[in-house]
């Protein structure tokens, strides 16, 4: 009876065929990535907008936020934005709470990310670094993520437990 080592060459494609298959797979993956990244970006002025209020510590702070209301807008987010005023931001939301994971590969500005529970409470604040490919995730399932200008959470003393509310954009 042959050993597993002796059977291996018969069970696998010859080395040149494996290299060809691997090359084809890598080419398809690269083509798919290139296509996804070449999709035209939508101007932020086309995104729905609404008013965000964050209350906590006896104060409230108002922002005008863009709403990422489609999968394409979710994917685009604030990528390639070069300046974000202190009173602007973006909200990403879902029907059901989930663990959100994001990265900043094509983001040119620092961001504060507020993870928001279904009841509107801030559960976590993370600070995102431009072009960083480190995955930033919510530690628990949340309903939404709000991105604001980097450093604004500290400047305004925003904290876990604050209440965020916004009107649903139409």
pLDDT at residue number 170? 57
34 and 48, same domain (yes or no): no
CATH number at residue 87: 2.60.120.1140
63 and 101, same domain (yes or no): yes
What does pTM read for this prediction? 0.76
pLDDT at residue number 39? 66
58 and 33, same domain (yes or no): no
- Cα–Cα distance for residue pair 155/63, rounded to 1 Å: 14
- Cα–Cα distance for residue pair 87/78, rounded to 1 Å: 15
32 and 87, same domain (yes or no): no
pLDDT in tens, the chain (170 residues): 443 333 334 444 454 544 444 444 444 444 444 434 456 899 999 999 999 999 999 999 999 999 999 999 999 999 999 999 999 999 999 999 999 999 999 999 999 999 999 999 999 999 999 999 999 999 999 999 999 999 999 999 999 999 999 987 65
DSSP 3-state of 161: coil
- Cα–Cα distance for residue pair 115/123, rounded to 1 Å: 6
Number of domains in the chain: 2
23 and 48, same domain (yes or no): no
Q: Are 130 and 108 in contact (CB under 8 A)?
A: yes
Q: How many CB atoms lie within 10 A of CB 93?
A: 17
Task: Report the phi/psi class of residue 153: left, alpha or beta, with left for phi > 0 and alpha for psi in -120 to 50.
Answer: alpha
pLDDT at residue number 40? 84
26 and 84, same domain (yes or no): no
Q: Are 107 and 78 in contact (CB under 8 A)?
A: yes
72 and 14, same domain (yes or no): no
Q: How many CB atoms lie within 10 A of CB 61?
A: 20
pLDDT at residue number 21? 45
Instruction: Give the domain range for residue 27.
Output: 4-38
């Amino acid at each position: 009876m042959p050993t597993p080592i002796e059977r291996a060459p018969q069970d696998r494609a010859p080395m040149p065929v494996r290299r060809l298959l691997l090359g084809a797979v890598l080419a398809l993956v690269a083509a798919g990535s290139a296509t996804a990244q070449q999709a035209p970006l939508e101007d932020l002025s086309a995104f729905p907008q609404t008013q965000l209020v964050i209350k906590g510590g006896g104060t409230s702070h108002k922002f005008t936020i863009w709403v990422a209301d489609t999968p394409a807008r979710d994917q685009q987010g604030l990528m390639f934005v070069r300046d974000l005023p202190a009173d602007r931001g973006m909200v990403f939301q879902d029907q059901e709470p989930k663990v959100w994971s994001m990265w900043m590969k094509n983001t040119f500005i620092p961001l504060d990310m507020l993870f928001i529970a279904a009841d509107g409470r801030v559960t976590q604040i993370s600070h995102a670094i431009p072009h960083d490919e480190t995955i930033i995730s919510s530690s628990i399932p949340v309903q939404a993520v709000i991105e604001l200008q980097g450093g604004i959470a500290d400047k305004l003393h925003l904290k876990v437990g604050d209440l965020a509310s916004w009107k649903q954009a139409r």
